[in-house]
Amino acid sequence: AYLKSKHLIDNNYFAHDYSGQSFSNLVYSLSGQKINGENIAQNYLTESSYTRSSAQDLANRLFNSWKESSGHNQNMLRESFSSFGFGFE
């Protein structure tokens, strides 16, 4: 997850795919891991504006927005997924 979040910023894009390469192939090329789902979000917190409550609020807002989206919610509930990663950059 960290590698993908860093890749988004380093290459100035916000999407699951990059230059015609699928998310799964991109992650495999960066980490050697085979995975099948991704939920991404974009937000801006500066170091001076960061607090524990703002991080908790951000996590709640992200979770609720993904829960309300059919495809993102399916990723969170998919029984075949046994692990997850969460990356910030």
Tens digits of residue pLDDT in 35-70: 677 888 877 666 666 676 777 888 888 889 999 999
Q: Is the pTM of this model over 0.85?
A: no
* Residue 63 CB neighbour total at 10 angstroms: 15
Nearest to 66 by CA among 3, 58, 18: 58
pLDDT at 56: 83
Phi/psi at 44 (nearest 5 deg)?
-125, 120
| Angstrom distance (rounded) from CA 39 to CA 68 | 12
Nearest to 59 by CA among 70, 45, 71, 47: 45
Per the structure block, which two tokens stand in for 9? 């910023």
Do 52 and 74 form a contact (C-beta atoms < 8 A)? no
**Does the pLDDT value for residue 7 go beyond 80?**
yes
Over residues 72-86, the mean pLDDT reads: 84
